[in-house]
Amino acid sequence: MLTDNPFAEISASMSPTVMKTYVVIMILLVAGGTLFDVIHKKSARYFFENWKKSKNRGTQPVGGGRVVGLAIQTLAVDVLASGEFCNARRRVAHLLTMHGFLLYVVTTAIMVFGYPTPAVPTPGIVPFLWHLGALMVCVGGYWFWFFIRADVAAEGNSPLRFMRADLFILSLLASVTLALVWSAVQAGGASWSGAVFGLYAIATAALFGSVPWSKFAHMFFKPAAALHKRVAEADGSMDNLPPPADAPATFGLGIKREAPRHY
């Protein structure tokens, strides 16, 4: 099962062109949803205006070479290693989910477009990495959902409590879970594998089609925000900002306000 290409196996009952078209539509949904999010929430305009204001507050110039170095540092620390997370458990769960999702998406595209039928043998490593990526998402995602979420860990709310902000993680977990189930039942020759595939396709469409209402687009904004923060620290504009709201402060009775805990 782990080295079988499930997309090639289903080509016996479905044209590879249909699956390729479906993947292209999913890509267009992500691009269109992200663009809608940028325009509707005016996040890009806010980002560039804030960057311009930061440059005006800066006390020392930052050259192009330094910006490139900061961009590489942002990619290595903030993006690939999720360095913004203070809590170790949350960081590990996020890394498993993020890297698993990337592995899952890339290998899906390779199998669908490169090895759509059994006539072109799929290298065993590709479906193996597809299954591994899906399993990583499940481990990181379910760990986060049931044990790490702030409102569950700190406030004692039910792990089944659902809010719109949870749309991305829930649709992601539904998609990869059904992908694994579909692969397993298809490898076993079950007659109802087609029904599971249909559910998998619906869950995946919900994942990529809900970009304007979920946190999917945040994965494109967060690296830019992290780079902006590093540049602001380098040019001194960060030092000219007022202290953050969560900074320790004293009140009339001499009591210090504690910084919020990270879950």
Residue 261 lies in a domain: no
Residue 144 lies in a domain: yes
Q: How many domains does the chain have?
A: 1
Residue 29 lies in a domain: yes
Task: Please state the φ and ψ torsions of residue 256, each to the nearest 5 degrees.
Answer: -85, 135
pLDDT, tens digit, 9 for 90 and up, residues 180-217: 999 999 988 888 888 999 999 999 999 998 887 776 66
Model's pTM, two decimal places? 0.71
Question: If pLDDT is split at 50, 70 and 90, which confidence band does 251 have?
Answer: very low
| Mean pLDDT, rounded, for 102-122 | 94
Closest CA to 234 of 85, 77, 65, 76: 65
Q: How far apart are CA 197 and CA 253, in angstroms?
A: 63
User: CATH number of the domain that 161 lies in?
Assistant: 1.20.950
Q: Which structural domain, as residue segments, surrounds residue 209?
A: 6-240
Angle between helices 43-57 and 16-41 (to 10 degrees): 50
pLDDT at residue 261, rounded to an integer: 47
Residue 181 lies in a domain: yes
Give DSSP secondary structure letters for 78-123. Answer: IISS-TT--SHHHHHHHHHHHHHHHHHHHHHHHHHHH--STTSPPP
Q: How far apart are CA 4 and CA 19, in angstroms?
A: 17
